[in-house]
Chains A and B, each alone.
Chain A
Amino acid sequence: MFENFPLWPARASTTAGQVDALYIFLVALSAVMSITIFTMILYFAARYRRRQGVAAEQIEGSTPLEVTWSVFPLVIFMVIFAWGMVIYFHERTPPQDATEVYVVAKQWMWKLQHEEGQREINQLHVPVGRDIKLIMTSQDVIHSFFVPAFRLKQDVLPGRYTTLWFRATKPGTYHLFCSQYCGTQHSGMVGQIVVMEPAQYQAWLAGGIAGAPLAETGAGLFQQLGCSTCHRSDTQGRGPNLVGVFGKKVLLEDGRTVVADEDYIRESILAPTAKIVSGFKPIMPVFQGLVSEEQLNALVAYVKSLGQAAPGARPGIPAAVQPAQPKVQ
């Protein structure tokens, strides 16, 4: 109907429908409210226009009315708030088994890497119907990953991870925008999300530039950088055993408990002294400035792969590690 004059972008993710439903509800509500007010104003303006010999009737006000038009909107507002909250929580809580894609933003491009090792620039290929979780960070300033067709946006910050997840529902090519102002070529920091049928996606994966799976790269780095000398897969290491750590709660030396998520692992590599695991000494060297964002992503992916209950169940995960009891809980 509105082919040349669209009112909303393509609806290509599970979130998009939910957001549009609320949006349409809000548009309708706003229309009703504003039309009511405008009609009243116009009616009063016409009905009570100044006429010779007709004086205005003085009215002080009415507390019941005031209470009505304070409470009534507030109730409606709370409905909107609650509805929005449900959507927000849904779109901000990634499913456990989502396929992960690491995103590194820099002035002015998007660098993406799949779990399987494929790298892409300013393009992301994903299959229809699979949950995709983006783990994003920036090399310089704040950017924002925005896909209008998915109704999703998340700022991408330097120095930490932010995440976003979606499940695409419709094959096609959609805009990827950077929506946080980031300098000269901000408007050039755009790309495409290519949503494909699963079969096509498999073909694309097979035809792509073969790279080692991310976790495997990470495993290599883990050896290379000497991490494995302390973080052993038994209880004898000078550092905590990392098997099964990911996603668990970790008791810290100062009594706090944190969840070992991507950001925690990242911080523990870059600034190990920030959150020391209970029972260990702050002896790990700082890796800030020694590893690139991509290497960091690989290391995080590796540590995460150690956390999987069934090693080898997913592509690219070395099955060599022993499922030992982790030191931390």
Chain B
Amino acid sequence: MSERILSSKLYIGIWATLMCLTVITAAVSFIDLGPFNTVVALVIATVKASLVILFFMHVKYTHERMTKVVIVAAFFFLLLLLALSMADYTTRFLA
């Protein structure tokens, strides 16, 4: 297995995108979008994280099925932890 070598232009492009997104997310937080401020902040964070995972961490180019399985599994179990905990907290004070 020889790792594919990506061009440094691609890396710099990703880097520039990440920097822009950072500025955007900071700037948008000052604008009143109601409940959507949180949504926008999390969507941008997820886009940034995905870029790092896919390109900087080479997941887009790997032929290892297991790498993707591990990532998905970890996020899935994290989601279970959050969702089932919140199942208690969001319903605790209902009559």
Instruction: State if A and B touch, Cβ cutoff 8 Å.
Output: yes
Task: Give the interface of A toward B (CB within 8 A).
Answer: 258-259, 261, 263-264
Residue in A closest to B93 when the chains form the complex, CB atoms: A258
Residues of chain A lying within 8 A (CB to CB) of residue B93: 258-259, 261, 263-264
Given contacts A259-B94, A261-B95, A263-B93, 5 further A-B contacts (CB under 8 A): A258-B93, A259-B93, A259-B95, A261-B93, A264-B93
Residues of chain A lying within 8 A (CB to CB) of residue B94: 259
Interface code B68-95, partner A: CB below 8 Å = 1, 0 otherwise? 0000000000000000000000000111
Residues of chain B lying within 8 A (CB to CB) of residue A263: 93
B32-50: which residues lie under 8 A (CB-CB) from chain A?
A: none
The count of residues in chain B whose C-beta lies closer than 8 Å to any C-beta of chain A is 3
A263 to B94, CA, bound (A): 11
* 8 A-B residue pairings within 8 Å (CB atoms): A258-B93, A259-B93, A259-B94, A259-B95, A261-B93, A261-B95, A263-B93, A264-B93
Give chain B nearest CB distance to A93 CB in angstroms.
10
A261 to B95, CA, bound (A): 8
Give chain B nearest CB distance to A135 CB in angstroms.
15
A96 to B94, CA, bound (A): 16
Give chain A nearest CB distance to B4 CB in angstroms.
43
6 nearest A-B residue pairs (beta carbon): A259-B95, A258-B93, A263-B93, A261-B95, A259-B93, A264-B93
Give chain A nearest CB distance to B11 CB in angstroms.
44
A46 to B93, CA, bound (A): 58
Residues of chain B lying within 8 A (CB to CB) of residue A258: 93
Residue in A closest to B94 when the chains form the complex, CB atoms: A259
A287 to B59, CA, bound (A): 54
A261 to B94, CA, bound (A): 10
Give chain A nearest CB distance to B87 CB in angstroms.
16
A259 to B93, CA, bound (A): 8
Residues of chain B lying within 8 A (CB to CB) of residue A261: 93, 95
Residue in B closest to A263 when the chains form the complex, CB atoms: B93
Give chain A nearest CB distance to B90 CB in angstroms.
11
